[in-house]
Structure 1
Amino acid sequence: MVDTLLRLQEEWGMPPISAEVADVLRKVPRHVFVPEVSLEDAYATDYAPPVQRTGDGLITSSMSAVRVQAMMLDQAGLGPGMRVLEIGSGGYNAALISELVGVGGEVTTIDIDPEVSDRARRYLDEAGYKDVRVVTGDAEYGVEAFAPYDRIIVTVRAWDLPPAWTAQLTDHGRLVTPMRLRGVSRTVGFDRVGDHLASRPDHHLTVFVPMQGAGAHEERGIAVQGDDIALYGAEEPVDVAALRNSLHGPRKEFWPGIEFTYPDRLHLWTAAHADRYAMLHVAGDVLEHGPSGPLARQPVPVVLADDGSVAVRTKRSLGDGRFEIGVFAYGPRGQDAAQNYIDVLRAWDRHDGSMARIEVWPSGTPDADLPTNRVRVLDKPHTRTVLAWP
């Protein structure tokens, strides 16, 4: 598993996992924590074995793919003697953390589902990690009894960051969490800076199951075409019938001569810089046989315009593994949406490709106290999240 992971990271041009994380991945028996799957699946680098499902089959808890776990452990920068809180239990990741912090460290893992936490306790004991604390409770409030923590690692997707997580960090603590930023998912390593959090330059595109409990947030989509096409994150009323008609009508293609680079970073750039923005989700069979021909792979950021018009990002091969970004325009004002989208893409092309700086401030923080180079501020009940670029 570890050798495969290292080889794939080299092939993909990604930074290799640290020697410390590679060592503990080789040591902790992953299959003990998912006995219901085959050894092949347990040790696959990009498979997230389901742990808990609802009655209708929806996955509510899973063991993260080892590639993602390794990345997050390196983001956390764990060391001997640290006190760590893990939010979202499976057992295996807590065992990895326990190995990294050593006998002088402390590991607490919490899950809202008693079946999941009981399972984690059982398999941690079986694997020899009896010192890991397992707590059943709502992680919206952290685990104050064992705070402060040098590190908090969140293994569920957070729509908002509750105040308890920052409050329970040490003054120089670090929080690693998946979060939702205008429809874009990123796993971000934050350092605590006084009363707010500032991102480190190594956040990544990932997918996690959403939080349950007080921090749960249901993202309601707008059904455009049954279960085939849906729009998420639109911040203005949408004329669904007009949008559906636009997608079934003629389209115009625009190819501004921009090469497709850093696609995951471009998602967040678009989300921050486009005003009339949403995410388009398209069923697999509609991708190649859409109402007006092939659509971009889902989900994809789109730019909206009046009269149900929309611009959708796409790409085409240039050969040698290179791609050009294009924009498909639908509807009577589709060209306006496409021009707005192209302006965003050209600004990206002029940019150096560096990561966004993400800062999370308490709700109620005055605009005057936020960074002056901000591109967009996302206001949520607990926080004001600032997106900026160098």
Structure 2
Amino acid sequence: MTQAPDATNPDLADERRAAMVDRLVADGWISGPEVEAAFRTVPRHLFVPEGTPLEKAYDADQSVVAKAGPHGVSMSTVSAPWLQAHMIAQAGIAPGMKVLEVGSGGYNASLLAHVVGDQGQVVTVDIDPEVTARATAGLGAAGYGDRVIVVTADAEHGVPAYADYDAIVVTVGAWDLAPAWLEQLTDGGVIVVPLRMNTFTRSLALRRSGEHWVSTSAQLCGFVPMQGLGARKERRLQMRDPAGGVVTLLFDETEIDNPHSLAGALEHGPVHAWSGVTIPDQGEFGDLHLWLAGFLPGFCRVEAGPGTPMAAEGVCRTWFPFGAVLDDSFGVMELRESDLPGGDREFGARGYGPHATEAAEALVAQIKAWDVHGRQIPDDAFAYWPAGTTIPASDAPVGQFHKIHGTATITWPPVS
């Protein structure tokens, strides 16, 4: 069991927990009285690493790293309370349900156990024995040790011994849906999964519709990646900038035919292109990333290392900096201040390489297309088609993300 340094002060812990829940209720994340009661009851500070202040343990917006791997990379976290509350709402967790949690930390399993009650059942599975040991200790300290079954195993296989489940809640970043998860759901069951689609993740609530699965809600989020058989690493291509430093292109689903052709790309450019598409200063454009991830050939993320001109100019300081490869060249999105109607900043791109202009213009063309088709994706726009099912033709734009066990799709509104 781990405790924060001020955890011996129960009144202060209760005070912090009450303030956290009040905030979750006020912001609309709490979906009902059973969920609110769970958050008001379960002591989150018992599940975070020793030395974590109560203020941080009960911060509604903050996740807490529970285990770090090499180079400080997060291997396990206690997710932010707002996101845990939202995923419980996405799954429609209610008294009497049988729930499988993929990815253990203990706190979320306790919340689930509190909501499903004595007539329900919660099973949590994780591949890391250190993580499941910590979860077991926290569950015992919080009084939920006999209400949650903790399993140490590769979650790619689910937990068939206790199936079928009314809901599966995946609390690690998944690149694909394991067939076992879908097979172990009841006929009317729901899976909530943070699904990675060509770099970008949404927490999707998916329900069966015939031979495929359709979303009922979607939420932008981030999670530590899946380990074991379901793991999928990004591929990295590093390029030395003649002016100093290294620029790295990171690819998820994109395949590059001849990566060596990009070796001298940074010797040419940058060439700039602007779209005329704007956003307010604090405006969100997360769905633009998904449009480009689905429709822009050669899509990738871009990291500008220390000492590069791109880093000095702040090009890659935008939220999730991205670009695309075009043969021996590539483009990178950028923003500039704008006096155009409708926004404070204008989207554009800069290109590098022998075909820098074409690379920048290809990116800008897709930014304009996103603007035409609507900036926000409806909650029911996502779907998952298991291998062997037919994806029907559509008059609307459909982004496809090809996985091992199936294909994820996003259907955008057609132009009216």
| RMSD (CA atoms) | 2.8
Deviation at 1:53, TM superposition (A): 2.8
Among 375, 378, 382, the residue aligned to 2:405: 382
Deviation at 1:210, TM superposition (A): 1.0
Aligned amino acid, residue 301 of structure 1: F
- Equivalent in the alignment of 2:158: 142
Distance 1:318 1:191, change over 3 A: farther
- Equivalent in the alignment of 1:245: 267
Q: Name the CA distance, whole Å, in 1 between partners of 2:225 and 2:321.
A: 20
TM-score (norm 2): 0.82
Kept in 2, the 8 Å contact 1:375–1:388? The answer is: yes
Q: What secondary structure, in the 3-state scheme, does the structure 1 residue paired with 2:89 have?
A: helix
Distance 1:291 1:244, change over 3 A: farther
Distance 1:4 1:34, change over 3 A: closer
Q: How does 1:202-351 map to 2 (within 5 A)?
A: 202-225=217-240, 228-233=246-251, 234-236=254-256, 237-238=258-259, 239-246=261-268, 249-259=269-279, 261-283=283-305, 290=310, 293-296=313-316, 297=318, 299-316=320-337, 322-351=344-373
Kept in 2, the 8 Å contact 1:251–1:331? The answer is: no
Q: Which moved more, 1:214-223 or 1:135-144?
A: 214-223
- Equivalent in the alignment of 1:17: 30
Deviation at 1:268, TM superposition (A): 0.6
Q: How does 1:136-215 map to 2 (within 5 A)?
A: 136-200=152-216, 202-215=217-230
1:33 and 2:47 matched? yes
Q: Name the CA distance, whole Å, in 1 between partners of 2:322 and 2:163.
A: 39
Q: What secondary structure, in the 3-state scheme, does the structure 2 residue paired with 1:204 have?
A: strand
Q: Name the CA distance, whole Å, in 2 between partners of 1:81 and 1:355.
A: 33
Distance 1:110 1:255, change over 3 A: same
Deviation at 1:299, TM superposition (A): 2.8
Q: Name the CA distance, whole Å, in 1 between partners of 2:206 and 2:336.
A: 33
Structure 2 residue runs of 5 or longer lacking an equivalent are: 1-16
- Equivalent in the alignment of 2:13: none
Deviation at 1:28, TM superposition (A): 0.9
Q: Name the CA distance, whole Å, in 2 between partners of 1:63 and 1:7.
A: 18
Deviation at 1:80, TM superposition (A): 1.1
Q: Name the CA distance, whole Å, in 2 between partners of 1:35 and 1:301.
A: 34
Structure 1 residue runs of 5 or longer lacking an equivalent are: none
Q: How does 1:41-80 map to 2 (within 5 A)?
A: 41-54=56-69, 56-80=71-95
Count of residue correspondences: 381
Deviation at 1:257, TM superposition (A): 4.0
Deviation sequence 1:199-226 (CA, Å, 0-9, x none): 12x3122221111111111212112249
Aligned amino acid, residue 365 of structure 2: D
Q: Which moved more, 1:118-127 or 1:232-241?
A: 232-241
Give structure 1 regions of 4+ aligned residues with deviation exceeding 6 angstroms. none
Distance 1:89 1:339, change over 3 A: same
Q: How does 1:340-379 map to 2 (within 5 A)?
A: 340-355=362-377, 357-367=381-391, 373=396, 375-379=398-402
Kept in 1, the 8 Å contact 2:192–2:204? The answer is: yes
Aligned amino acid, residue 361 of structure 2: Q
Aligned amino acid, residue 340 of structure 1: A
Distance 1:70 1:16, change over 3 A: closer
- Equivalent in the alignment of 2:3: none
Deviation at 1:4, TM superposition (A): 5.5
Q: Name the CA distance, whole Å, in 2 between partners of 1:337 and 1:38.
A: 48
Deviation at 1:245, TM superposition (A): 2.3
User: Aligned residues: percent identity?
Assistant: 37
Distance 1:155 1:16, change over 3 A: closer
Q: What secondary structure, in the 3-state scheme, does the structure 2 residue paired with 1:70 have?
A: helix
Kept in 1, the 8 Å contact 2:29–2:86? The answer is: no
Q: Name the CA distance, whole Å, in 1 between partners of 2:24 and 2:150.
A: 33
Q: Name the CA distance, whole Å, in 2 between partners of 1:298 and 1:264.
A: 9
